[in-house]
Structure 1
Amino acid sequence: MTLCTSITCHLQELFVGIIILCLVGLNYIQLNVDSEEMCACFQCMAGSKDDPWFAERYKNLVPKLLSRQNSELSPNTRKWWERLQGRPTKKNYSELVETLFSLFPDEEHYSDAGPHRCRTCAVVGNSGNLKGSHYGPLIDAHDVVIRMNKAPTAGFEKDVGSKTTHRAIYPESAVDMDNSTHLVLVPFKILDLQWLISVFTTKHITRHIFVNLALRRASCLLFKVMILHPEFMRYVYEVWLQKQGKYPSTGFMMLVLSLHICDQVNVFGFGASKDGDWHHYFDKRYHHLLNKGVHRGSTEYNITLKLHHKNRIRMYKGW
């Protein structure tokens, strides 16, 4: 065999090897793109097949945020949601939906999952364990920062941060917010949908509502309004909480929502303070009774811990 022939053979072998590697690589990429488990993070939230406990609970096809297209409620959800109303209502749900989405964006939110996305979420609860934590800069470094109800940031920035991209409220917990924050309504009743319409139109529903004029007048907030889907609320209650309590807390629903809209989730301000008290970081007089009322706080907390131990989220306890 001549030197020329030998070089030619080696080049041919190298060329064939490169082609095989390329084909294998393309097949690997295609398999992973099609699997809905690809993202740009080290671990993707949707990659649940290796964890039966998580796979049993993580139902990505459940509608998360309400739109015209997905607004029809299943019979089971309608029955469950009506039980939360407290009293029968004659208001037509379909008419309310039409009015809502003549005012607010009617679109599919957060449907951009893919191999190039690594969206980070910070879900910030109200626990006293945030006091002295110095988590503020870490919280603000996330793409999405979700806060609940009236939790303030002013005066607490070094521990809780100053950034709020989403604030989950129901009417009785509404606070002033600027146009950098998405208002995420958690509708426990049809009256809550009526209230949302009222805030941006006639403002006729005011009973038990404390909303600053800045919120009422912020027409640009119209484009940042989102409504949690009743189907999603029932899914959290029945699948994640196994029907414990009457309905999930706002904080726990936002935690589960973050599992569906983000690739990496970090949780702050959940659980007791280091002295074992259950109180707010902004109001030490308030003491939360873990299993009293409509929520099952111990169940929610134990599931949050389990998600942490399974590396689905990272939980920061402040101590």
Structure 2
Amino acid sequence: MRAQFRGVLTLALMVAVCALLYVLLYGQISDHSVSYFQKLQLVPRGGRLHEMNCPCKNTTRDVFTAGSGSAHKETPMLWLQKKDFKQYPIWASEDVYVRDKQKRQMTCPQSLRNSQNTGFKQAFIPDIQMYLHGELLNQSEWNRLAYFNNPFGFMDYTNYTEIKAVVDLIPKPREPLLLPRGNPGCICCAVVATGGILNGSRMGKEIDAHDYVFRMNGAITKGYEEDVGNRTSVYVHTAHSITQSLFIFKKYGYDSAPHDKGIKYVLIPEGLRDFQWLKGLLGRTTVSDGPYKNRRPWMQYSGEFDENRFYVLHPDFLRYTRNRFMRSEALKGSYWAICRPTNGAFTLFLALHTCDVVDAYGFITEDHSKYPNYYAERHSKTRVIFYANHDYNLEIKTWKKLHDTEIIRLYQRQESPERKTGKPTEP
């Protein structure tokens, strides 16, 4: 009986000791370290997520106010890799975005923001944070954005400190991208893509009549003014597009990115190479790593680069554009990680959030096969190639839908060339 009692007592003491050790050890685990362990509960390699609750504490907020920061100190979350997912992983925080505290005052009665189209009203976020700058990235935000592949977040990026140092160089915009002109304060914009539908269109004067003109990629105008105009107010690009356009369009006379006096430049941070570009550009040093190593980025802007007129699109704005307006079925396939809207698409949605009236020229339409790939092709005609990284059929449908619901006015060649200008009339 005594031996049995001693056995029970020994067992009880062992349990007590184990419990004490557990408490002592657990007490050394900080709150953010527990989150670290929770992050291990992701789907296995090749698995699929559907509205899985994101364990990150700061990602489930309905609204995150830009620049508000976080009082909770976090450590870097575990590194997520695109190769671990066979298709796009959907998180509970998928449709959560940073909002901008500086809301634009609306004065234009004809603004597209006054649209009564139900679908557009439900999808459109007028105060979405459009630009990334040094005040908007901390460890908490890095962890939130690490769930999304580039250019929509920082998945696959391993070095928070490196990216943070670059983002800290990006100045907070001193003024809106565009300012109202005249009465009643409407901002009328033309967004000009490079599509061959503009070849022979004679839309140049109409394009230049707008308050502001957006262009992107190989935006050649010299020699093509009659069809595409010659003004550029905003040039949207990636590090890849601003460098490669010099080679792709050289045979058409393109020798530099647009550099109109006072022009504003907007960069889409599509990958690590763009942050390497930004480090050299904003630090005024040669690029130290990546495909642009030893280059001097500011030379690509022909003397018009001014950091006060330079903007970098926020990953949330890019993801919002994709999620709310251009979500492709290709995200369910094996090429999900490279599938994103074109630079032209991002430019058009940038205009939708900064302008009141938007006219789109040179964008792909249903009858694109009738025209050359680029408007600059006068003596040859290359066909439009539907590359795997963009859903061109979706873009065709999106532009047509925005046109049909009178959100934008899309230039379509079958329309009469004697169309009225997109500039709004006085009320």
TM-score between both structures, scaled by the size of structure 2: 0.58
1:255 and 2:348 matched? yes
Task: Select between 65-74 and 194-203 the one with higher mean Cα deviation.
Answer: 65-74
2:169 partner SS: helix
Deviation string, structure 1 residues 89-135 (Cα, Å, up to 9, x no partner): 4252322221222xxx5435258789942001101011101011111
Find the aligned partners of 2:289 and 2:233 in 1 and give their Cα distance.
26
Structure 2 contact 203–227 (Cα < 8 Å) conserved? yes
Task: Select between 84-93 and 127-136 the one with higher mean Cα deviation.
Answer: 84-93
TM superposition shift of 1:217:
6.4
Find the aligned partners of 2:200 and 2:347 in 1 and give their Cα distance.
24
Please point out which of 349, 367, 374 is paired with 1:280.
374
Deviation string, structure 1 residues 140-176 (Cα, Å, up to 9, x no partner): 1111111111220011000000000111111111143
Find the aligned partners of 1:206 and 1:285 in 2 and give their Cα distance.
38
Structure 1 contact 268–316 (Cα < 8 Å) conserved? yes
Structure 2 contact 151–270 (Cα < 8 Å) conserved? no
Deviation string, structure 1 residues 6-29 (Cα, Å, up to 9, x no partner): xxxxxxxxxxxxxxxxxxxxxxxx
- The correspondence of residues 192-207 of structure 1 with structure 2, limited to 5 A, is 192-200=274-282, 201-205=284-288
Distance 1:113 1:134, change over 3 A: closer
2:370 partner SS: coil
**Which residue is equivalent to 1:94?**
164
Distance 1:265 1:197, change over 3 A: same
Distance 1:278 1:39, change over 3 A: farther
1:67 and 2:152 matched? no
Distance 1:74 1:198, change over 3 A: closer
Distance 1:212 1:198, change over 3 A: closer
Structure 1 moving runs of 4+ over 6 Å = 83-86, 111-115, 210-213
TM-score between both structures, scaled by the size of structure 1: 0.76
Please point out which of 372, 376, 390 is paired with 1:295.
390
Distance 1:83 1:216, change over 3 A: closer
The letter for the 1-side match of 2:411 is Y
RMSD: 3.2
TM superposition shift of 1:191:
2.8
**Which residue is equivalent to 1:305?**
400
**Which residue is equivalent to 1:227?**
312
Find the aligned partners of 2:189 and 2:223 in 1 and give their Cα distance.
23
Distance 1:77 1:185, change over 3 A: same
Structure 1 contact 126–280 (Cα < 8 Å) conserved? yes
TM superposition shift of 1:277:
4.3
Unpaired segments of 5 or more residues in structure 1? 1-35
Larger Rg: 2
Distance 1:155 1:140, change over 3 A: same
**Which residue is equivalent to 2:257?**
176
Which protein is richer in helix relative to its size? Answer: 1
Find the aligned partners of 1:289 and 1:74 in 2 and give their Cα distance.
36
Distance 1:38 1:95, change over 3 A: closer
The letter for the 1-side match of 2:188 is T
Find the aligned partners of 1:163 and 1:205 in 2 and give their Cα distance.
34
Deviation string, structure 1 residues 276-305 (Cα, Å, up to 9, x no partner): 346111245543323x31110111121111
Unpaired segments of 5 or more residues in structure 2? 1-103, 243-255, 331-338, 415-427
Structure with larger RCO (C-alpha < 8 A, sep 6+): 1
The letter for the 2-side match of 1:59 is I
Distance 1:298 1:314, change over 3 A: same
**Which residue is equivalent to 1:18?**
none
1:123 and 2:191 matched? yes
1:39 and 2:107 matched? yes
Find the aligned partners of 1:47 and 1:69 in 2 and give their Cα distance.
31
The letter for the 2-side match of 1:228 is L
Find the aligned partners of 1:37 and 1:214 in 2 and give their Cα distance.
36
